[in-house]
Structure 1
């Protein structure tokens, strides 16, 4: 006959904590943090516009400027790069890893089409600033229909 084992809340909490620690160590080996707000969607973005241009600013503190790559296709801006670790991993067991230093990519949906050949980008003080000239809408023209 099966016996029931009574578990106390403290025992369940200890088990949950042990499992959390195990997964934290596994993910840390891959450079991934499961802490809220840690590059969940990628780097933070600020977008502004005026009548002729879009200005996108991406926060990339510590990013390697030589690794940054930008591409624009239709109305999507893709920002890619790497954030190198500021320190070497310890030979022992890490107790906490709260930073993410891995390759990253962020797809930014633009509100309109832009002139891809005229996009300009600068990187200073951990901020990538991208200026995208808007593709101005062509005037509509009427077309005469001839009846045969």
Structure 2
């Protein structure tokens, strides 16, 4: 019986030859650049918290804002279908995009007064603080 010794194969180098290093990175970058999760800025003032959600190309009707206990969820969903029939061919395309962002709100928020506006591609959500949680100006206490 002949024993055949096999040479150790370096799989990473074979994969590197088949798929250059930038191939996976290129796909990952494409996926990351087409993701639909918008950027969100959060700013705290003495009176409230402000969320700015960058979502250009949407209409205010596209947004769904829900408040479930202490969780504010901002979401959209968009479906597009297109069909072209000419001579001997049919072209049918569809796309779907959505995003969902959730934020656990601090107890300091007056949940009844939350409001939102959408203008120039920015969804602005104002989360007012409860009166007792607003920063009060410094005061002097007289001693009696």
Fold shared by both chains (TM-score > 0.5) = yes
- Partner residue in 1 for 2:52: 57
- Partner residue in 2 for 1:116: 111
Q: Are the equivalent residues in 2 in contact too, given 1:64–1:83 (CA < 8 A)?
A: no
Please state which structure has a larger fraction of its residues in strand.
Answer: 2
The count of corresponding residues between Structure 1 and Structure 2 is 115
Instruction: Classify 1:124/1:11 alpha carbon distance in 2 versus 1 (closer, same or farther; 3 Å).
Output: same
User: Following superposition of structure 1 onto structure 2, how do residues 1-148 of structure 1 map, counting pairs within 5 Å?
Assistant: 1-4=4-7, 11-17=14-20, 24=27, 34-35=31-32, 39=35, 42-82=37-77, 102-137=97-132
Gaps of 5+ in 1: 28-32, 92-99, 139-148
Gaps of 5+ in 2: 84-90, 134-144
RMSD (Å) for aligned C-alpha atoms = 3.8
User: TM-score normalized by structure 1?
Assistant: 0.56
- Provide the C-alpha distance between the structure 2 equivalents of 1:125 and 1:60, rounded to a whole number of angstroms: 9
List per-residue Cα deviations over 1:19-71 (Å, max 9, x = no partner): x67xx5xx9xxxxx533x6548x321111222222111111122343220112
